[in-house]
Structure formats: structure tokens, C-alpha cells
């Protein structure tokens, strides 16, 4: 389970998407995939994970639009399971984890394996996305865009980082 209290973009979003369940703070969570506007293909294949969660059109909006998504929109789209008030988030996630920990392990394992068969993409879809990522970040245009974003404050507590969806659009 992922508990998202802050910004989860790019690899952070992809890590959360690899989790079975995602819960986030209504007041503090922002999710997104900004790579395409930076000239790169996302490497963790959010394309396939998001399409399975929210459908093709919304996945296209997230990946190709490269904007920041508030928690309320992320919940409505299926990016996260549930958006909760920040003060209630940890108690809810901890309570669910404790509840699951009390169940019979073989039942959980079997149910999860059947859900995985019905909902998870095959492992073969991930290497092509990672290869496309490495190929795309090697292009001069992508390197120039990333250098510009880094110079403007990417990965530091700046306006660019706090409003990355807007910054990459400029």
C-alpha cells in the first residue's frame, strides 16, 4: 500500500502505481507524469498501469498532458483508491493494513493472485517502456529541456518544483 502525502510525480508516481493500493492526502497530495513535456517517455510504464486503472483517455490525459493532478481528481480518475483528509490518512491506512494482517494468509494470497491475473499487465510490457525511456532521455532536445528545468529549480523547493505541471508547459 502507498500512503501519499506530498508530490508523487515521474518515478514517484510510478512507484505508487506499482503498489496494490494507493491512498492519499486531500490537502497535500499531487500526482503526475511530467516526462513527455520534458521530451522523454516515462520509464516505469505508467501508460499501461494508468490505462488499466482509469481507462485509455484519462491515461492519455495524465501521461501526454503532463500536468499535476490534485488528490480529488486523482481519486475521481482512479489514480488513487481513496483521498482522505490528511489528519485521517495514516490511521485509515494503518487500520486497513492491520485488518489485512489478521486474515488467513492463504486466502489473501489466493485472492490476490486471481486479482493479479485479471488486472495486471504481463511483465513483457515493461522492458520496452524502459528502453524507450533511456532512448528518449538521450536525445538532445530532451536533455536541453531537462537542463532548463533543473536550472529553473527542478528537484529543489522552488516554484518550478511546486508547480511542475505548469512549469513544463512553458
Question: Would you please indicate which residues are annotated as catalytic (active-site) residues?
Answer: 14, 35
Cα gap 24→27, rounded to integer Å: 9
Cα gap 38→58, rounded to integer Å: 20
Q: Find all residues with CB under 8 Å of 83, minimum gap 6, and list them.
A: 23, 24, 25, 26, 29, 71, 72, 74, 75
- Residue 83 in 3-state DSSP? strand
Cβ atoms of residues 61 and 69 within 8 Å: no
Cα gap 162→92, rounded to integer Å: 27
Kindly calculate the radius of gyration of the chain based on its CA atoms and give it in whole angstroms.
17
Q: Which three cell numbers stand for residue 85?
A: 483528509
Amino acid at each position: 500500500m502507498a500512503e501519499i502525502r506530498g508530490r508523487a510525480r515521474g518515478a514517484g508516481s510510478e512507484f505508487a502505481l506499482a503498489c496494490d493500493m494507493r491512498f492519499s492526502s486531500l490537502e497535500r497530495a499531487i500526482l503526475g507524469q511530467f516526462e513527455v513535456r520534458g521530451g522523454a517517455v516515462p520509464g516505469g510504464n505508467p501508460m499501461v498501469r494508468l490505462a488499466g486503472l482509469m481507462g485509455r483517455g484519462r491515461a492519455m490525459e495524465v501521461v501526454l498532458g503532463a500536468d499535476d493532478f490534485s488528490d480529488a481528481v486523482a481519486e475521481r480518475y482512479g489514480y488513487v483508491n481513496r483521498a482522505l483528509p490528511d489528519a485521517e490518512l495514516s490511521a485509515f491506512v494503518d487500520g486497513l493494513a492491520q485488518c489485512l494482517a489478521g486474515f488467513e494468509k492463504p486466502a489473501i494470497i489466493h485472492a490476490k493472485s486471481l486479482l493479479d491475473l485479471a488486472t495486471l499487465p504481463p511483465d513483457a510490457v515493461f522492458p520496452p517502456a524502459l528502453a524507450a525511456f533511456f532512448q528518449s532521455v538521450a536525445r538532445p532536445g530532451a536533455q536541453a529541456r531537462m537542463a532548463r528545468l533543473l536550472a529553473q529549480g527542478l528537484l529543489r523547493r522552488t516554484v518550478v518544483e511546486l508547480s511542475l505541471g505548469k512549469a513544463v508547459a512553458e
